[in-house]
Amino acid sequence: MRSAEAAFARVRAVADAVLHEGYLLYPYRRSSAKNRVRWQFGVLAPRDWAEAQGPEMPGVSGSADSWRQRTECLVRATAPCPLVRVRVRFLQVQRKRVERRTDTGDYAPVDALEAAGTVHLAFDEAVPRECDITVPLSELLTGEREFTLGAPGGTETEELGAGAGRAVRERLPLRATARLQAEELDGARGLFLLRLRTENTGAAGPLSTRTEALRHALIATHSILGGDGLCFLSLLDPPRWARPYTARCRNLHTFPVLAGEPGSCEVVLSSPIILHDHPQVAPESPGDLHDAAEIDEILTLRTLLLTDAEKREARATDRRAADILDRVEAMPPEILARLHGAIRSLAPAGAAAVPWWQEGADDGLCPATDSVLVDGVPLTAGSPVLLAPRRHGTDAQDMFLAGRTARVAAVFHDVDGGVQLAVTVDDDPAAELHGWYGRFHYFRPDEVRPLSHEERCDGRRRTART
């Protein structure tokens, strides 16, 4: 059997995409509004702060700030005395201050500093961290084992120019634990349930701002599980005999999928971004663009169209943004041409797929006709609503839609048993086009307020005057 380390290395590209997804969004500038509300996936904040923000929304999606993750997956022992290997990976926030050297030789903090023709901006960066755990499976069957995670704090100083000033990078120490446990499910088949709980054990203060709490948080937290003498089972497409056992797995703010080459079973990637089994980075991709799950061609072309002033600000914002600009500007035409598309298969098209809501006609699910009760009002397709996204644990883009009026396009039931309202925003000039090809904004029922058609029209008129 191939070594666990080699198997871990084969999933690193996908794991790195998870690690940096949303780290810095196009156009990669500090002044961009969407880069002012950062770190949206896999945030494990101190418990005192996370619980002060309100009740936790349970589910497998890691888009909500929490203080914990739980991974439960199925694994078979394929050799005597198997070893379990776990790698927990995350980002540690690093605050970059820029300081100007004064006439007296002291340093004074500034928002921006130009030194030797290069601009430097104060900004929050992040440092990748990973912690490894190795333990015999037999030890996990006797009880839960606890392991210390985290990262040390520190301060680094970089001189800028010929005495013009300096950049000071400061990290606060992170404290966390990983708890591992195994439970035998089927001795004849050598089947076990493996449980990993990752928790932030630090403190930030319940009244801290989110920006301050993030300095004590594990960001983009995910884990890779593997081992020697182990074969993992898919929770998405398990063997028929294993389906009753998959129903026992309870995952919180993360979801495990088989990783590595299709057909392999040595490694599981448990990600706050829900993936399919055996996720892969497209071979045409020339490298990380931070929007790691987006379309490389669009981002490359848009990056090339940035003005010189915009590129200068992006380079000053973050070192990784400067690397992106360098890679895009140096991209050969033949590599750019490869990004336009690829044919994966020329097999004849099969019969049209049956929509998921029609697969089980007995459950009666249909987004176009389903409704959900909000403040005593049934909302269904066509209902007018006022958008009121939560302050925490929601998509950064949704925050900019607070107070806008919208129309419900469909009512969806998600994999966690919750309800999501697909809406189109009234004053979006492309709302009709978005509705035509199914591109919506999604809100939970507690993030909208029912409106009468008169209130909706009044809201649209106020928006138009503004």
User: Tokens at residue 320, please?
Assistant: 């990784």
- pLDDT at residue 349 above 70? no
Identify whether 328 is part of a domain. no
Same domain, 107 and 221: yes
Q: What percent of the chain clears pLDDT 90, i.e. is strictly above it?
A: 65
Print burial letters for 237-250: b (CB count within 10 Å at least 16), e (below 16): ebeeebeebbeebe
pLDDT single digits (tens) 234-288: 999 999 999 999 999 999 999 999 999 999 999 999 999 999 999 998 888 877 7
Give the SS3 label for residue 297. helix
Identify whether 231 is part of a domain. yes
Residue at a domain's end among 244, 271, 298: 271
Same domain, 217 and 88: yes
User: Tokens at residue 161, please?
Assistant: 């120019």
Residue at a domain's end among 240, 256, 271: 271
Q: How far apart are CA 44 and CA 26, in angstroms?
A: 25
Confidence at residue 367, expressed as pLDDT on a 0 to 100 scale: 82
Residue at a domain's end among 271, 301, 335: 271
Confidence at residue 458, expressed as pLDDT on a 0 to 100 scale: 62
Count of domains observed in the chain? 2
Give the SS3 label for residue 463. helix
- pLDDT at residue 1 above 50? no
Same domain, 117 and 243: yes
Same domain, 267 and 371: no
Name the residue range of residue 184's domain.
Answer: 4-271
Q: Residue 211: is it exposed, middle or buried by C-beta count within 10 angstroms (0-12/13-18/19+)?
A: middle
Q: How far apart are CA 358 and CA 360, in angstroms?
A: 5
Domain CATH number, residue 428: 2.30.30.30
Same domain, 259 and 371: no
What pLDDT band is residue 62 in, cutting at 50, 70 and 90?
Answer: confident
pLDDT single digits (tens) 83-121: 999 999 999 999 999 999 999 999 999 999 999 889 999
Confidence at residue 130, expressed as pLDDT on a 0 to 100 scale: 97
For β-strands 165-171 and 154-160, DSSP reports them as antiparallel
User: Tokens at residue 179, please?
Assistant: 């708890």
Identify whether 250 is part of a domain. yes
- Our CA angle for 425, 41, 72, nearest 5°, is 120
pTM: 0.80
What pLDDT band is residue 138 in, cutting at 50, 70 and 90?
Answer: very high
Cα 435–chain centre separation: 26
Identify whether 415 is part of a domain. yes
Identify whether 293 is part of a domain. no
Identify whether 431 is part of a domain. yes
For β-strands 83-101 and 68-77, DSSP reports them as unpaired
Same domain, 233 and 85: yes
pLDDT single digits (tens) 437-457: 788 999 999 999 999 766 656
Confidence at residue 361, expressed as pLDDT on a 0 to 100 scale: 47
- Spell out the alpha helix ranges (H) of 12-169: 12-20, 47-52, 137-140
- pLDDT at residue 397 above 60? yes
Within 13 Å and on the Cβ side, how many CA atoms surround 135? 23
In 106-205, DSSP assigns E strands to 107-110, 112-115, 118-121, 123-136, 145-151, 154-160, 165-171, 174-186, 191-200
Identify whether 282 is part of a domain. no
- pLDDT at residue 291 above 90? no
Identify whether 160 is part of a domain. yes
Contact criterion met (CB below 8 Å) for 271 and 257: yes
Rounded average pLDDT over 139-168: 95
pLDDT single digits (tens) 174-229: 999 999 999 999 999 999 999 999 999 999 999 999 999 999 999 999 999 999 99
Closest listed residue to residue 2, CA positions, set 15, 11, 161: 11
Contact criterion met (CB below 8 Å) for 374 and 433: no
Confidence at residue 350, expressed as pLDDT on a 0 to 100 scale: 65
Rounded average pLDDT over 418-431: 89
Instruction: Scan for tokens 């070192």, then name that residue.
Output: 319
